[in-house]
Structure formats: C-alpha cells, structure tokens
Amino acid sequence: MAKGYWVSVYPTISDPEKLTAYQKLAGPAVRAAGGRLLSRDGRVVAHEAGITQRVVLIEFDGFEQAVAAYQSEAYQNALMALPDDVERDFRIIEGID
C-alpha cells in the first residue's frame, strides 16, 4: 500500500506566534490519526518559483489514512484555530507503492 503525505507550504505568515494555538491542537490530532512529522521548518533550497518559507511534511501509512486524518473532528477543530493572516498551500498526496 502506498503511503500518504500531507505537504504544507506557508507563503505568508504575518505573525508566527499566532500559529501556536493551531500547532497545539494539530500535533496531537495528527499523531492520534497515525501521522508522523518528517519535516518542519528545516532548511530549504528553492528552485524556479519555489517557496523558501515554512514547509511541513507529514507521513501516514496510507493515502486513505491521510485523507481521514484531515477530515477528523480533531483536525477540523485545529483548523479553526489557524490564523486568518496565514496563507497556506496544503495538499494530500499519494506516495509510490
């Protein structure tokens, strides 16, 4: 079974401190759903139109599990805490089996 991944890129974060409430809720929600944080705020070398700001990569054992984690009540509650001034490009992708 191919793994599932959450890939988030944050082109704009006006105030990084405002992410704290979201992170406090999102971390436990992701872990409870079986997600494993692979990268957050690590070094980035961007090419072409790449974005060097915050990048988050989370791995799940399967694509369906990644989708279910996003749809979970716990993660939806976390999303409500995401500040309005944060621009985020979020994707759920299927890995190669």
pTM given for the model: 0.90
Give pLDDT, residue 74: 97
Give pLDDT, residue 96: 94
CATH class label, 4-94? alpha beta
Give pLDDT, residue 58: 98
Give pLDDT, residue 67: 98
Give pLDDT, residue 51: 74
Kindly give the confidence (pLDDT) of every residue in the chain, 97 residues in length, as a single tens digit, with 9 standing for 90 and above.
899 999 999 888 888 887 888 999 999 999 999 999 999 888 888 888 777 888 999 999 999 999 999 999 999 999 999 988 889 999 999 999 8
> Could you tell me where the DSSP H helices lie in the chain?
20-32, 63-71, 73-80
Q: Where in the chain are the domains?
A: 4-94
Nearest to residue 84, comparing CAs of 26, 22, 39? 22
In the DSSP assignment, the letter for residue 96 is -
